Amino acid sequence: MRDGDTIAALSSGALPAGVAVIRLSGPQVPDLLERLAGGVPEPRKLALRQIGADTWLDRGLVAYFPAPHSFTGEHCAELQVHGSPAGVRAILKLLVQHGVRLAEAGEFTRRAFENGKLDLVTIEGLGDLLEAETENQRQQALDRLEGGLTRQLDSWREQLLDLRAELEARLDFSDEGDVDELPESFSASLVALRQDFEAALTGFDRGRLRREGVRVALAGPPNAGKSSLINALSRSDVAIVTDEAGTTRDVREVPLDLGGQLFILLDLAGLRETDSKAEAEGVRRAEAAIAGADLVLWLVAPDLPEYPAPSTPAPLWRIGTKSDLGQATQVKLALSTQTGSGVDILLNAIEEFGADMVRGEPVLVSRERDRQALLAAVEAVREAERVVAQPELAAESLRRASHALERLLGRLDPERVLDQLFSRFCIGK
């Protein structure tokens, strides 16, 4: 990014559309509004304007957000124009002729970060909100965007600073002999703070499942009816079904929204010994998917011999398939994709299982980055507890804990995270 240039992009969705929003940010914005939109409107008030230079291109609503009270912290404007592909193209072309550069993906948000308007945690919340497909994802993203985690991190950082100040006071004056011993409560405060970090970490799995979905593996021998079942559960025709054993080889992920929670159903190759290289690779991938699943459905069919179920870290439900042909024994429930019987019962059971997994207080942490930062903070405070009799070492440990939290917020070497983060944003965000 070059400093000081003014950027523009279509910030609304695909064209044609009823309305298109073109967003501008940079020092030239007031001048551009003067020249191309009939003057600078009153800040934060919509004004109906003709847009164009020598000839007008469109009529639309123009809003001006002077720095620093804007999304990016720079002068910003939004042009709400007709959502015509040619119209929007003409306006963007005109802007470029007047010295504006077309924005890169995520560049508005990046400027907001660089101007201190948003921290990394909040930007992640914004990214999650833009991508949210389910109700649980939406709520969790909004909590993050609204600063729940940021406020918590700031409060922890302040507590760490206070504790460090206590230690450092004893360093500076240790030769003057008039500084008291650390108060009794000091160690207890360290422990309490560490326990706060640990409590936040216990929500991580719930947060991750709400964000990334509950993974449900459909496993069983070839021809057990896995692909038929994934089609029935998702009411679609995503997976190939044939009577040939070994039809499915690739892992197919099918997202499903049940009661506001995202589930990822996984159609897998049937587990068996095979001479086919492609099928053997499919079996290997199936085994990996089963090991990483939150729930495994082990499908048994009345027209097939019994195969041994794999042992799994996650719960495994025996599901009888092809109930129109006969009943398998010792199953949690039996169903037939042919007649549809039992399919809704299974859907309800999956929904309930997932709801139980994510039930609880709203969680603050949901990303691996969060988890790593909190683990580092726990570790550092634990170290401080251990060396509390040596204030210099204890202070250093607490500094490490602060750094872990600052890194999470992006206040310390953010570059590593930034590029990856903004690559998820589209142009205009």
Ligand X SMILES: Nc1nc2c(ncn2[C@@H]2O[C@H](COP(=O)(O)OP(=O)(O)OP(=O)(O)O)[C@@H](O)[C@H]2O)c(=O)[nH]1
Binding-site residue positions for (6S)-5-formyl-5,6,7,8-tetrahydrofolate: 23, 78, 117, 429
Nearer of residues 83 and 221 to ligand X, judged by Cβ = 221
Torsion angles phi and psi, residue 275, rounded to 5? -90, -15
- Type and span of the H or E element at 129: helix 120-131
Name the minimum Å distance from CB 281 to ligand X. Answer: 14
Any contact of residue 402 with ligand X (CB under 6 A)?
A: no
Give the nearer residue to K ion in terms of CB position, either 224 or 381: 224
Residue from the set 203, 222, 414, 428 that interacts with ligand X by CB under 6 A: 222
Please report whether residue 324 would count as binding ligand X according to CB under 6 A. Answer: yes
Query: Is residue 338 a contact point for ligand X (CB under 6 A)?
Result: yes
Tokens encoding 232: 């029935």
* Residue with the CB atom nearest ligand X in the bound state: 270
CB of 393 to Mg ion, least distance (A): 59
Chain positions 245 to 264 lying near K ion, rule: CB under 5 A, are 247
Q: Counting contacts by CB under 5 A, is residue 228 touching K ion?
A: no
Q: Which of 243, 273, 275, 415 binds ligand X (CB under 6 A)?
A: 243
Q: How far is the CB of 302 from ligand X (least distance, A)?
A: 9
> Which of residues 174 and 242 has its CB atom nearest to ligand X in the complex?
242
Residue 270 binds ligand X (CB under 6 A): yes
Q: Which does 337 bind (CB under 5 to 8 A by kind): Mg ion, K ion, ligand X, none?
A: ligand X
Q: Return residues touching Mg ion (CB under 5 A).
A: 226-227, 247-248
Give whichever of 50 and 338 is closer to ligand X, judged by the CB atom: 338
Return the residue of 52, 66, 147, 246 that touches ligand X, per CB under 6 A: 246
Residue 84 or 338: the one with the smaller Cβ distance to ligand X is: 338
Positions touching K ion (CB under 5 A) are 223, 247
Positions touching ligand X (CB under 6 A) are 220, 222-228, 241-243, 245-248, 269-270, 321-322, 324-325, 336-338
